Amino acid sequence: MAVIIDGKAVSARLRREMTAEVAALKEAGLVPGLAVVLVGEDPASQVYVRNKMRACEELGIRSRDYRLPGDTTEEALLDLIGELNRREDVHGILVQLPLPKQIREEAVIAAIAPEKDVDAFHARNVGKIVQGSYDFLPCTPAGVLELIRSTGVSVTGKECVVIGRSNIVGKPMAMLMLHENATVTICHSRTQNLPQVTRRADILIVAIGKAKFVTADMVKPGAVVIDVGMDRDENGKLCGDVDFASVEPVAGYLTPVPGGVGPMTITMLMRNTITAAKLLGGRRG
């Protein structure tokens, strides 16, 4: 039976460390600040934003919440981002996705100052990740990496398979594993003989958004299996991209849904905000 990787416990440990770090920065006169912008009233986005603000409060980070109506123009949003870029008390800027159809996501990402881009979506930060000389990592891949480290399994020399090639998870995840000296394969909807490929994986990371897609016959015995999915099953119950019940007896380590990768994403956002504050605070100090 797999050892269950407790994302809540790993997240709680990291947050305790960050709380102490924020307190030390405040003693030195630097208060990390995060601005979160939400356009429209998407229910899921509202939950995400609320959780991010709660995390800021828990760690002692100053948070600013900007709620804009769903009919906000792209120009108005870019003006707000420009203002936040100039504010010295704002170290991190996060515009909650998805955006209404009249606003181009790529224009918004490009408008955020790279040194305040705590999502690590800006082209400059993506390039730094490819090079391995980054300031920030995308929050979900960074959280996955922490979960893998928590197992004590060395990544060096291991076969790693990432299912999914999104800009937010799949591609940066593959880069991070490459920097950790894994041999990496990226699979996607056009991959042939997928189970044959995934069964080679010592570390299998699944991020495709298909409920219970990965089954026991796709998993190498003893593998570390990380489930990034957040789906609903046929009964409307929250589940992941991995069929937990069938994979648990086969895997060596396995993340649950909920309680695995989810808690880590916001924790890594907090880490990026603290990093941005130290970089910007040092530069201006």
- The answer for residues whose C-beta is within 8 angstroms of residue 118's C-beta and 6 or more apart is 34, 92, 93, 94, 136, 139, 269, 272, 273, 276
Q: Which residue has the tokens 């960050």?
A: 18
6 is catalytic: no
Residues in the chain: 285
Contact 154, 181 (CB under 8 A): no
CA distance 160 to 182: 6
220 is catalytic: no
Contact 252, 3 (CB under 8 A): yes
Of 26, 116, 117, 119, catalytic:
119
Phi/psi of residue 208, each to 5°? -125, -15
131 is catalytic: no
- Residues labelled as active-site residues: 52, 96, 119
